[in-house]
A = this chain, B = another copy of it.
Amino acid sequence: MGRVTIKDVARHAGVGLGTVSRVMNNHPRVSPETRERVLKAIRELGFRPNATARRLPRKTELRYIGVITHPFLLNYHSISERLRGVQTALSASDQGLDLALFSASSAAHFDSQLHHIVQANAVEGLLIVDFDMSDDQVQRLRQARIPFVGLNHLRGRSWPCIGTDNEYGGYVATRYLTELGHRRIAYIGDNMVDEYGFSTSQERYIGYKRALTEAQIHLNTRYVRLGDHSYRMAYDITQELLQLAQPPTAIFAMSDLQAAGIIAALRAADVHVPADVSVIGYDDTELAMALGLTTICQHLEQSGRLAAGYLLALIAGADTPPPTLPNSQLIVRQTTQPPKHRLS
C-alpha cells in the first residue's frame, strides 16, 4: 500500500510541503483559504501523518517498557496486581518510560507480537507475563538487544524470571492439608496449559502430587479437575465432586476466586466449611481476606515491582543477577481444619 504522504497532499492542494505541515500543526501564519484547500486535500486523500516521521525532527523521544500477556489473564486478579507493581517501579524510576501493554491470544499470536515488537523497535525492554519462549524467540530478543524479564517463576527457563515457585506453592498447600489429616484431597486447576503453554496450573499440580506421595496417599484422578478458571466453573465442579461416592474432605484451588465458587457450592449443598470440607485458595487477594480463606500468598505486586526494577537496571546496562522474590507463603485462615473422621 503506497501510503499517502505530505508530498501527495501538497501536490494535490497545489501548495508547498511546508504549508501542509503548517496546517497540520495549527501554525498561525496560513491564510484561511490555503488552510481550507489543504484540509480538503487531506480529507480527499485520506491522509494520516506518520507519527514516527513527526517525532524525528521534533526530537521528542518516546520510550516504552512492554508488557506482554494473554488477554484472558486480564480477567485474573494476578495481572492487575503485577501491573500495579510494574507501574510503581516505572514511576519511581522517573525515566520517562511509559508502559505498553501487548496481548497475545495464542502461541502464534505471541510469536507475531514478538516479531512486531522487535521489528518496530517498540520497547526498551519487555516483561513477559506467564508465556514461555522457545530458544528461537529468546534468541531473537537477544539479537535485537531488547532486555527482557519473565514475570513468573523460573523453572527450566534459561532467562531471568521473577515469580514464586508454583510447584512449591502447590506442595505447601497440599502438605498442610495432609498434615491436618486429610487424605481425600481434590485439586481444581485450569487448563490454560494445553492451549497456551502456561504451566502454572501444571506446576502446582506437581507440587500437589509430591505432597500426596510424601503422605503416602494414592493419587485419585477423580479428584483432579481442570476448568476455565472461573467462579462458575469451580462451583459446577464442586457439585460434581459432591456426587462422588467418596467426596473429598479438602479442596485446593488454583485461585481465591475459584475457592469462593467452591465455598458457595458447598454452602448451597449444605456442606459446612471447614467442618465437612476444608478449602484452600491461591493469591491471597482481598477476596480471601473477605472470606476468611486459607490461601497461598505469592507476592504478586512485589513481583511486578521487582521485575520492572530489574528490567530497568538491565536497560541501563547492568549485568547483575535478578533479585529474589520471597517464596510463596501459606496464609492460614478459617477454611481449613482436620477432617471429621480419619479415613483412608
Contacts and interface: CB of A to CB of B under 8 A. Distances in A.
Contact of A99 (B100, B231, B264): B100
B100 A87 contact: no
A268 to B, nearest CB: 10
A145 B26 CA distance: 10
B100 A100 contact: yes
A108 to B, nearest CB: 14
Contacts of A105: 91
Given A260-B286, A287-B290, A91 B64 contact: no
A71 B58 contact: no
A257 interface: yes
Nearest to A113: B98
A17 interface: no
A214 interface: no
A260 to B, nearest CB: 4
B98 A101 contact: yes
Interface in A282-326: 286-287, 289-292, 317
B290 A231 contact: yes
Interface stretch (A45-53, A177-185, A217-225, A271-279): A45-53
Nearest to A101: B99
B52 A61 contact: yes
Interface stretch (A8-16, A74-82, A165-173): A74-82
A56 interface: yes
A79 B80 CA distance: 8
Interface of A: 24, 26, 46, 50-56, 58, 60-64, 71, 74-75, 79-80, 83-84, 87-88, 91, 96, 98-103, 105, 116, 119-122, 124, 143, 145, 230-231, 257, 260-261, 263-264, 286-287, 289-292, 317
Instruction: Name the 4 nearest CB pairs between A and B, nearest first.
Output: A260-B290, A74-B84, A80-B80, A60-B120
